[in-house]
């Protein structure tokens, strides 16, 4: 039976790398995959999933109004799909997570979602909250804080490398804008050995 999977982490844990490798493994065995990514995130180029280590692939885009079950069914009318992969899954709506659950439950296609669990204020993204509630299988992709502990939180940085505590939930950026921290150092707003800030 097909399942809905959610692999989550903080920033820079290698989620996109894992997604691209898994899709490659399917394709290497002659199976077809459908890759989806959020239209809001164009860091790798529009309709493109890329990892920091250089892997990349084209992907279909989803926006908040995209009916993902209908999107998958439209592709199924043209070719088989053995697995659906969703990058930046934190940007899904709750309704879209239910649509992906229906892809697994009713169309019999595994759906593997990859995304952040929480934002820079320690709050769940709507898509992540729905996936944590509905996914059949949850997997944590681990990365580390500067201290060596497991990083579970994300801090947003301003242009001078200082932690930002207020603002919009969604601001697209990479290593220049976000840093992964353990809960303790996120709580203390500590970016390095210097207790007053970044080292």
pLDDT string in tens for the chain (199-residue length): 899 999 998 777 778 888 889 899 999 999 999 999 988 776 656 767 777 776 767 888 899 999 999 999 999 999 999 999 999 999 999 999 999 999 999 999 999 999 988 888 888 999 999 999 999 999 998 888 889 898 888 887 777 677 777 766 655 555 567 788 888 888 888 888 655 544 3
Domain 4-141 of CATH type 3.40.50.300: yes
What angle do the packed helices 126-134 and 94-107 form, to 10 degrees? 30
pLDDT of residue 198: 45
pLDDT of residue 170: 59
Residue ranges of the domains in the chain?
4-141
The residues near 128 (Cβ < 8 Å, ≥ 6 apart) are: 6, 8, 89, 90, 115, 116, 117, 118
Considering the candidates 63, 78, 88, 140, report the single residue annotated as catalytic: 88
Closest Cα partner for 190 from 137, 142, 138, 153? 153
175 flagged as catalytic:
no
Round to whole Å and give the CA distance between 127 and 89. 6
């Amino acid at each position: 039976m097909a399942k809905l999977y959610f692999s989550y982490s903080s920033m820079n844990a290698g989620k996109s790398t894992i997604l691209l490798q898994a899709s490659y493994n399917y394709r290497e065995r002659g199976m077809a995959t459908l890759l989806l990514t959020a239209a809001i995130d164009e860091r790798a180029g529009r309709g493109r999933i890329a990892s920091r280590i250089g892997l990349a692939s084209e992907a279909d885009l989803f926006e908040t109004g995209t009916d993902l079950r209908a999107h998958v069914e439209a592709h199924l009318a043209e070719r088989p799909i053995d697995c659906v992969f969703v990058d930046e899954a934190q940007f899904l709506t709750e309704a879209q997570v239910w649509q992906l659950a229906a892809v697994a439950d009713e169309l019999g296609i595994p759906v593997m979602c990859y995304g952040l669990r929480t934002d820079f204020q320690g709050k769940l993204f709507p898509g992540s909250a729905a996936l944590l509630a509905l996914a059949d299988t949850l997997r944590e992709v681990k990365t580390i804080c500067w201290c060596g502990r497991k990083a579970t939180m994300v801090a947003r940085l301003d242009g001078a490398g200082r932690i930002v505590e207020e603002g919009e939930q969604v601001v697209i950026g990479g290593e220049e804008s976000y840093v992964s921290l353990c809960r303790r150092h996120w709580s203390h707003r500590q970016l390095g050995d210097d207790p007053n800030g970044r080292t």
